[in-house]
Amino acid sequence: MHRFANPTTFMRIANAVFPWAAGLAVVLFLAGLPIALVTSPPDYQQGDTVRLFYIHVPSAWISLLVYGSMAVSSAAFLIWRHPMANVSARAIAPMGATFTGLALITGMLWGQPMWGTFWVWDARLTSFLLLFFLYLGYIALADAFEDPERGDKAAAILAVVGSVNLPIIHFSVEWWNTLHQPSIVKMGGFTVDGSILLPLFLMLGAFTCYTVAVWVLRLRAELLAVKLRNARMSEVSLSRMPAE
């Protein structure tokens, strides 16, 4: 654990992973996108709107995964005080928020032809929306402080508290909905056949590799920012009165 917490070791591993992740992402996108968007058969019911599926599901999937990883590394940061754990969480949070947004948007676009409306207050949609808010809360809190180190810790506490709350939100929203009235539409109600599975898995792989690659880039950027801050900071020491 300590070995990976060392920024140098950590970055060495991350940098080694980067070309693979980036390369694989390119390959998988090149393979997956044409199938997903062009050659895969349109759904007999949904027509071409089914293609949103290949973006929607991977995005939703990644955004859940990212929150999980954020919560775990925030906990590691709080317990063991490994700064890298926090830099990692901070680096990946905007990715999570973006994919959550993407899943929401594609879901809404898909909902219009499918349900005749952009939005329903369905259990999954609602809890997913609240996940989006938790992401935004994390990001806002992380840079709401004059002292960046305080933002780090506060945001980490929020990430952990939020993860405790996620299942609660999920189940409460589900109960609320079923008590009121049955959901208008059950998502994922249609059978998934092989012609859909292949592009879906290609896109899942592509999204995952892409996330890992961008995460490494953002890690570098975060570390550079810290380094820059430190460099600027060291000049603060020249603040004595000039000898007159």
Partner 1 sequence: MVPRINSGTALSLQTFERASFSGTGLACRRGGRLVFAGLTFSISSGEAVVLRGHNGSGKTTLLRLMAGLNRKSAGELAWNGAEIHDFEAHSALLRFIGHLDAVKPALTVAENLEFWRNLWGYPPVDVKQAAQRLGLGALADFPARLLSAGQRHRLSLARLLVAPAPLWLLDEPGNALDDASLQALAGIIADHRARGGMVVIASHGTTVVENGAPLDVGAFTNVSETHWSEAV
Partner 2 sequence: MTVFAAVLKRDLSLAIRQSADTFTVLAFFAIATVLFPLGIGPETNTLARIASGVLWVSALLAALLSLDRIFAVDFEDGTLDQLVLCGEPLVFVVLAKTAAHWLTTGLPLIILSPVLAVTLHLPAQGYGALLLALFLGTPTVSLIGAVGAALVLGSRRGGVLLSFLVLPLYVPILIFGTLSVEAAIIGVSTKATLALLGALALFAVTLAPWAAAAALRQAAE
Contact residues toward ligand ATP (CB under 6 A) are 147, 233, 236
**What is the three-class DSSP state of 163?**
helix
* Stretch near partner 2 under the rule CB under 8 A, chosen from 10-18, 31-39, 66-74, 163-171: 163-171
Distances from the Cα of 134 to the Cαs of 26, 165, 204, 234, in angstroms? 30, 10, 24, 35
Least gap, CB of 58 to ligand HEM (angstroms): 9
| Of the candidate residues 68, 102, 149, 182, the single one contacting partner 1 (CB under 8 A) | 149
- Backbone phi, then psi, for 47, in 5-degree steps? 65, -145
Q: How far apart are CA 131 and CA 170, in angstroms?
A: 10
Q: How far apart are CA 43 and CA 120, in angstroms?
A: 23
Q: How far apart are CA 216 and CA 222, in angstroms?
A: 10
Contact criterion met (CB below 8 Å) for 215 and 69: no
Least gap, CB of 136 to partner 2 (angstroms): 6
Least gap, CB of 153 to ligand ATP (angstroms): 13
Q: How far apart are CA 77 and CA 142, in angstroms?
A: 14
Between residue 10 and residue 39, which ones bind partner 1 under the rule CB under 8 A? 10-11
Least gap, CB of 219 to ligand HEM (angstroms): 25
- Residue 238 is classified by DSSP as G
Judged by beta carbon distances under 5 to 8 A according to partner kind, the member of partner 2, ligand ATP, ligand HEM, none in contact with residue 161 is partner 2
Under rule CB under 8 A, residue 119 binds partner 2: yes
| Of the candidate residues 124, 153, 170, 220, the single one contacting partner 1 (CB under 8 A) | 220
Question: Could you list the residues that contact partner 1 (CB under 8 A)?
Answer: 6-8, 10-11, 146-149, 220, 223-224, 226-227, 229-244
